[in-house]
Structure formats: C-alpha cells, structure tokens
A and B are shown apart, each in its own frame.
Chain A
Amino acid sequence: MIKRLCTMMLIGLSITSVVLRSRATGRQMTTSSKHQADLILGVLEDIPGDQAGGADFRAVRAIFQKDGAEWRSFPTKCASYLDLKSLPRFYPKGMAWTIAFDGRDLGEVQAETPTEFASYAETGIERITSHGEIPTVGKKSPDYAGFFSTTPVYRPLVAVSKPNFSDPDQWRRAQPSPDRVVTARRQFQNRFSKASNCRNPDENVPRLWKYGDEDIKMNKAYSSRDDRVLIELKLTGWACDGPLGFGDAFDGQWYFVDPQGSVKFLGSDMWLVDAGDYDNDGKSEILFSIRGYDKGGYRIFYQDFSRSAEFVISYH
C-alpha cells in the first residue's frame, strides 16, 4: 500500500514537473544549451538590402536576455569576420516573438537564427519563418535604417519572448514644463561648456563657438504617468563639412529628469524605440536605438534608470 502510494506520488511529481517546465519554456521553441533563460528581448527590424538593388527584409534581432535582475547583451564582438560563423551558437535557435508597440500587442511572429550571420550588421538576426502578416507601424523611412542608410524601411518594433507588452509607466511624447527643460539645459551647458562650429562647409575650419540658450533645441521629449521626463537636447546650425559631431553637442543628448528635479545624463546618438514592462516586474523598461559613427544597436534602461545594458554592432 505504502509502496503503491509512493509510486503514485512520484508519478504525480513527474507530471507536475513536466507541466511546469513546459509552461516555463512554452514560447521558446528551441535554444542552445547555453541559453536556458526564457526571457529574451528582441527587435523586429526592416533591414536594407546589402547589395546594390537588394530589397529590404524583415527579421527579428535577439539583443538582450534576462539574467536574474539584469539584462545581458548577446555577444556581438569578434576577433575576425570569420567568427560570424560561430556567433549564432550563442543565440537562441528559434523563437516565437510577441511584437509590442506603445503598450499594445501587435501580433506574433516566429523566427529562426541562421547557421551564420551574413555580416557584422546582421549579428543576432533571426529570419522570420511564420507566414502570417508581419506587424508594421507607420510608413517606411530612411530614418529607421542603419548607418545613415538612404533606404526607407519600417520602424523597428520591440519583440519579446513572452507576451509582456504593457507599459505600466505610460511613457508618451510630451511637452515638458519649462522648469524641467531649464534643468536639462543647465546639464547640457555643464557638459558642453564649449562647442565648435564652422562658418560654412567650404571653409570647414572648426572654431570655438559660444552658443546661447536659443541655439539649444529640444528635439524630443517624453513623460511618464508619474511625471518623470526624458528630454533630448542638441545644438542646431551644424555648418562643417564632415563627420564632426558624433557624440558631441550637435547630436541629441538625452536627459532623465525626475519629479524632484534630479537630472541624469543617459547618453547621446540614440533615439527612443519604445517603453514596456518586458520582464513583467511592474515597471517599464526603456529601449533606445543607438546611432553613431559605424555603430548601431540598442541600449536598455531599467530599474528606474539606475541600470542599463548595451547591444552594440558595427557596420564595417
């Protein structure tokens, strides 16, 4: 009798274990042995064709994996281009992705990692294998393409390996109050006490330029439901002929300002892709796209902007 009871308990435990395990990994089709954690953040991208006349294509790029309380980037750097063949083994082999935008679920796509990445710029790319409609938002624009690409492509959209698409902090485009803008502008001026500019591209000689408040433009701003603010500031009137300006005052500088007026510099050369509670911890993460000289990728801020992680690729 006792033996039969023990056997039944063991069978019951085994069934429960199998059910729990399948629930935990239910949305992750297959993964390599090194990536058992099942919360992965990606981006549904529209990638310009590499060759002349090549068409753009949609794909999901796996970028971050949740590891305890932290978001970790998948590997992107290699000792040589030959390593592009070995990189995919560090990525999930296949995923079912929930596509999110602005706190909404736009649909699902399935995608698989190729056996090798075709280029550095395609690091992390999974080819879409599902046959349904692929979600889009808005019209194609070259603003969303890679390193100053002139090819119009669709806006990148967040992809999550679990249906975590809500945005509890409700981040929205906003016009922040003047005092917040002044706070951010003061930080901007502290950061760039001097700036250089040229008279015109033909002369192309940078000279020190004492800019004024009127030269600092607020490019974009967002606010959350609890009155936290993200502000992008930059100098206008770039007149040099050349790639001066990456990371400097003529590129957007992002600041986080809390309701008490504390301000924190977040970075430059980036634009906000979306916000959402992708790890289901009750707070929204903020995802930026990085756009520097020969540099792309994503930067995520979490835990009230106290933590961040970067997924960085180069194009050449």
Chain B
Amino acid sequence: MSTYYAGLLADVGILTLGGLSVYIILATGQLSLGNAGFMGIGAYITSYLTVTLGLAITPALFIAAAASGLIGIIVGFPALRLRGIYLAMATLGFGEMVRSFFLNLSAMGGSSGFHGMKHISVGYIWLWATGVLLVVMLLERSRVWLEMQAVHDDETAAGLVGLNATAIKVGAFGAGAAVAAISGGLFAHHHVYIEPGNFGFERSIDFVLAVILGGSTVGPGALVGSLVLVMLPEYLRFLADWRLAAFGVLLIAVLLVRRQGILDRSLFRRLSLRGAA
C-alpha cells in the first residue's frame, strides 16, 4: 500500500476513535462540541510520556486515557446543569480553553508545537480502533447501554426505574474523554508532530460529523462516517476546486434525506445477516 493511502487509512482510524468518543456521550443525550480538547490532552500526555519519560506507546496510551477520563468525569459534573444547545456551547468553550491552554504551555512547545515522537504504523492504529469499536459494539448489547438510552430518552422516568442518571451521564463523559485521548495519542505518534491548532473546534466538528453522517444510533456508524469524511474528498478530486463545496452539499443532502445517518440499526442488522449467510 502506498504511503499516501496508508496515511488516509490512519486518518480514518483516528477519526473513528474520535467519532466513537462523541457517540458514547451522545448516547446519553449530551452533545459535546469539545472532544478535540480531550484529544489534545491525550496527544500531549502520550507524547510527554514517550518522548520525555521514555515510556512505550501502549502503556502511555492507557495512562493518557485514564487521565483524560478523569478530566472528562470532572467536566461531566458541571455539564449536568446544562441541556441541549447550552451544553453544546459550554463544551465548545471547553475545547477552545484546552487549545488555548496548550498554546500557553511552553514546556510542550506552546504555539511552536511538539515533536520527537516515534512513528507508529497504520496497523497499530487500527488495532486500537477496531478494539475500541468492538468493545463499544459489545457494550451496545449490555444493560449499561439500555440505561444510557433510557437517560437519553427521559431522565426523570429513568430515575424512577432506579437508574442513577448522574452517574450514567458523568460516566459517559469520562468514557468519551478516554476514547478521544486515545485518538489523540495515536494522532501524535502517527504525524510525529503536534500543535494546539490540531485540536480546535474544526476537529471537534469532524468528530460530530463522522457520527451524524455515518450513523448516530450504532457504533459502526462512526467508522462509516470517518470513511466518508476522509475518503470522499479523494473521490471528489475530479471536481478540483469545488471539492469542498460538493462535500458540503453532500452533507446537507444526507441530513435532509436520512437523518439518522447512513448506518442505522435495521440496515446494520440486514448487512450482518447477509454477511453471516
């Protein structure tokens, strides 16, 4: 495989993890427009661990994910006080604050960025991406996921069947933050150079787009969306200068015609049955 296509595939894997981070939180009814912040936290912590402390990439990723998860839980508590678009805006603000934080962190390069990471292969990225995706897909068949759906649908009624909505919503934030951190750590070690600008609002929006386009009701939707977001511009090359506009048109078209995104539960079931047959 050419380096170019390997690069694209790596981007798909990294974006899939980002999409999953949004998906997990969205499943509880919370829209986060700031997950790039958690991605950045993961990127910088992992890079610090591998470059400055000499840790191997895998334990570094676990540590970064745990740290980010903790921050996610801390963020999740004030987030409980906000709903809908107000929560979305607050998470947007959070993402921007994280970006600004890293701009000021001269220890990690500030605006000049950070480098020195050892390059990792596309295969390693996909090990993580498929691993996390499988865990999510397993989780979707578990009781915890039903509880998240109940909290998403009606928080009050959920409380009345014994569900601790607070724990579920905060937990989701933590889990999402951890997954986004992994995305960031992998990003850092694939591009071997990171700067705060990599983890801004546009990245957060990419994550959300991957989920909304690919399918917001099933885990593999994030994968489908990432494929579309990364690969489609390649196939639209023939449109030359109008590539991006065409992409915008496609986005609006999908939103108008199929709100739940490309992949939904029934389509997924049909595809997997056909595959099994």
Partners in one complex: no
